[in-house]
Structure 1
Amino acid sequence: MVRGKTQMKRIENATSRQVTFSKRRNGLLKKAFELSVLCDAEVALVIFSPRGKLCEFASSSMEETIERYRNQVKEVQTDNSSSVENAQWQQLRDEIASMAKKIEDIELAKRELLGEGLESCTLEELQEIEQQLERSVCIIRARKMQVYKEQIEELKAKEKLLVSQNAMLNVECIIQTKEKIEERVASVQITEYGDSSDVETELFIGLPEKRTKQR
């Protein structure tokens, strides 16, 4: 009779689950023992049952095997950390070398644009430098014209503001001058009428030539 394939999922029946655990635990312990004997391997096996019962097997000392495992894990972690650090340092060194090469190329291009170190340049390279300078001059001139235009617009705005302020000051000056003139005229009139002694205050009857003074 062919044995059916066991489905890899939790056995729901508690009795069947316990029976299966006992059988497979014994088989696992047997395999661990055979592995240690046949292959001269250091084997340590720890099993906890569903109820928390401990089952273990060790070909030598369980404590020594566990300590050996811990040391091995530490060494692996240290090696992994060292590998990661080495990779990071290598990446950083590559980036530094790339940045240094870019800086060197920029400095060389700068010297060429300034007319220095052109002895080793070919005719094509000199023509390319010349074209680049012409493009730069065009950009500089366009920017200069834009700055001129902005300054002219700014000066026009200032001129308009000054004209407006000047007009307001002229109006204020005219008003103040008119007020001062009116004050002076009033002051002169008060002075003249206040000090005059020729003003006639008596009543006369008749024509001016024959007027009789009534007393």
Structure 2
Amino acid sequence: MGRGKIEIKRIENSSNRQVTYSKRRNGIIKKAKEISVLCDSQVSVIIFSTSGKMHEFCSPSITLSDILEQYHKLSGKRLWDAKHEHLDNEINRIKKENDNMQIELRHLKGDDITTLNYKELMVLEEALTNGISALKTKQMELVRMMRKHNEMIEEENQNLQFKLRQLQLDPMDTGGNHVMESHGQGMYDHQAGVANYEACHSQMPPPPFAFRLQPMQPNLQDHF
């Protein structure tokens, strides 16, 4: 008994629909591989499921972009609008610019310069000269900044050493400076004045003893 024909319409049952999709998808991709190998043809297949998952096959000897380009030439139809074409041109421009920058970088490193002519070598020399000049300017700026920073550190170090010496000479003088007072046209140093006063009085002889006579008591007179 032969197989009956299946009516081509949407399968309502979701489980049966998913099973049929998997079987038919694998069958289409298998047939595309077979015709590509048996007939040496260029085949590309793209299948999207209802969930958006993509399955594809393309002949090993060609890419999908090449097949699309051939389709554009033979059919005269574009698969994308002018906006997408502009983006494609922009991508190609950026790729080309990147390739040129890679070449210039190799030239600046001294690689692949044997094929350059005289004019190109002059342009390369000018670029290197400008780069060296900018590098030296930046280097001198950094040297000046470091020198100024070192001078500030040295000045601060000297101030700290001066304050330390003052504290060692006079620990009681927390300010590290003598207190000066103005008297007329000169300045009077309190600390020096106290020191002179103590030195002068240390050399003077002690004062004589002073005796105080008490009045005679009456009871003592009776005994004598």
| TM-score, with structure 1 as normaliser | 0.41
- Provide TM-score, normalisation by structure 2: 0.39
Q: Which has the larger radius of gyration?
A: 1
| Bigger proportion of residues as helix | 1
